[in-house]
Amino acid sequence: MNQKILVIGSSNTDMVVQVPRIPAPGETVLGSHFFIVSGGKGANQAVAAARTGAEVTFVACVADDAFGKQAIEGFRKDGIHTDYIKVQEGSHTGVALINVSEEGENSISVASGANSHLLPEDLRGISDAFKEAKIALAQLEIPLETIEFAAQMAEARGIPFILNPAPATALPDGLLEKVSILTPNETEAALLTGRTEVKDDQVEAIAHELLDKGIKTVIITLGSKGVYLCDSKTSERIPGYAVKAVDTTAAGDVFNGALAAVLATNHSMREAIDFAQRAAAISVTRRGAQPSAPFLHEVINFLV
């Protein structure tokens, strides 16, 4: 039986331009292709979890515009429960402007729009969804008070709360101590521990600093270098899979969604990380956010 997971987060429409390199401030760079796809860290993670086998309920807010309708249609095609997606009048569905370079790197600016209308009171009526879920998963593209409330609800229902602290920002200790699994990248881990950057030899110390805040498991994602896993029993680097990247947009989202999907089925953390790394490796070989999220059979058949 598929396990239920609850994803609370953003939904955006991504407007993507392929550029030879990411423009510097004040610079105009002529790009090649342009495409519009569904994105948003919350939505990408919900889609990745659903495609890799979880039964997903997505809690989000879109506007009553064409992008909002398209997003909901897309979630339904992926079998995601959309009953708790709020439709906000007088706003616009979140939009992300994305440059993707020839090396597959990106720069992203987001106009949050309806995402900023997802409020704690919207979660009050959905305690059943928290009760039924095996795991709750959130990111930082919705208001912080909503994420704090989601963490409280997960704690009250006794289910693990995974927080992907993206985009990077400092967070209150009161929230971090409710987090079961924190999945920052290096930039986010640096910010959460009061640093401006992370040097390779500091990753272990930073993971322990985060653990000391009361988080049960810290997984620092290191891009092509794999992940650093730290909990009360282990502190180790786990290598990733080397692939030729064409677009790294949403690789972290695919990692998180797939990780949650596998953890909900009672597999070990090592198994879940390996599966999630395979899923993320596939995603960087494809363009766009949600279009890049692989299906279960693709991850199982992934050969390096």
Q: Are strands 85-88 and 181-182 parallel, antiparallel or unpaired?
A: unpaired
Give min distance, CB of 42 to ligand RIB, in A: 8
3 state SS of 196: coil
Least distance between ligand RIB and beta carbon 140 (Å)? 10
Q: Which stretch binds ligand RIB (CB under 6 A): 15-23, 33-41, 173-181, 273-281?
A: 33-41
Helices 251-263/269-284 angle, 10° precision: 150
Note whether 184 binds ligand RIB by CB under 6 A: no
Position of minimal CB gap to ligand RIB: 39
In this structure, the strands spanning 161-163 and 135-138 are parallel
Interface with ligand RIB (CB under 6 A), residue from 135, 203, 207, 250: 250
Q: Which residues have a Cβ under 8 Å from the Cβ of 24 and sit 6 or more positions away?
A: none
Candidate ranges 9-17, 47-55, 208-216, 279-287; the one touching ligand RIB (CB under 6 A): 9-17
CB 60, CB 42: distance < 8 Å: yes
To which residue do tokens 């049960």 refer?
A: 216
Q: Within 13 Å and on the Cβ side, how many CA atoms surround 121?
A: 2
Instruction: Please tell me whether residue 39 binds ligand RIB under the rule CB under 6 A.
Output: yes
**Shortest Å distance, C-beta 158 to ligand RIB:** 29
Binding ligand RIB (rule: CB under 6 A), the pick from 3, 12, 101, 292 is: 12
CA angle in degrees (0–180, nearest 5) for 91-97-103: 160
Nearest 5°: the CA angle 95, 100, 102 is 170
- The answer to the question of residue 140 lying near ligand RIB (CB under 6 A) is no
Q: How far apart, in whole angstroms, are the C-alpha atoms of residue 240 and residue 67?
A: 35
Q: Does 289 bind ligand RIB (CB under 6 A)?
A: yes
Q: Which amino acid is at 187?
A: T
Q: Which is nearer to ligand RIB, 15 or 126 (CB)?
A: 15
Site for ligand RIB in 190-249 (CB under 6 A): 249
Please say if 253 is a catalytic residue.
Answer: yes
For the annotated catalytic residues, the residue numbers are 253
Q: Which residues are near ligand RIB by CB under 6 A?
A: 10, 12, 14, 39-41, 44, 96, 108, 110, 141, 249-250, 253, 289
